[in-house]
Every structure is written in structure tokens, then in C-alpha cells.
Amino acid sequence: MNDFLAALVYLLCFLTSTACAYLLGRSFRRTGAKLLLWSSLCFTFLALNNLLLVVDLLILPQLDLRLARLFLALAGVATLLFGFIWDLEEEA
């Protein structure tokens, strides 16, 4: 039962971050606000991170995909940080 709940939480995290990426991307297409684009890209990387977590821990537990997951999380945060800095430079 414990493994089932862990798998459920991992899958729900993946679905939530995917939904956030989709909704932010859809809002960006409607409004053109660049911060929505950067946020959407960040959540896309985080969704990929969560997908790799599911693959790493549930589907292929013999593989260690920790480095790839950390890289995707770093890419997501770096994308959002770049977007924040880019928007600040455009306003100034």
C-alpha cells in the first residue's frame, strides 16, 4: 500500500506541473506577457523532472537518473531566473 501511495503522489506531481505548464503557456499565447512564457518553460522542465522521477523510482529502479533529474530542475529554475532578469532589463 505504501508503494501505491508513493506512485500516486509522483504521478499527481507530474500531472500538476504539466497542467501548470499548459495553462501558463495558453495564457501567454492570449496575453503575450513574457513572464508567463518563462513560467511555462520552468514548469515544463519541472514536469520533465517529475516524469523522470516516475521512471527512475517506479519503472526502472535499477537505473540512477538522479543527475538528469537535478539537471532538469536546475534548468527550470535557471529559465525562470533568466526570465525575471530579462524582464527587469526591458523595463529599465
Q: How confident is the model at residue 69 (pLDDT cuts 50, 70, 90)?
A: very high
The predicted pLDDT at position 92 comes to: 59
Q: What is the pLDDT of residues 4-56, one digit of tens each?
A: 898 899 999 999 999 999 999 999 999 999 999 999 999 999 999 999 999 99
Cα–Cα–Cα angle for 86, 38, 81, rounded to 5 degrees: 55
Q: How confident is the model at residue 2 (pLDDT cuts 50, 70, 90)?
A: confident
CA distance 70 to 64: 12
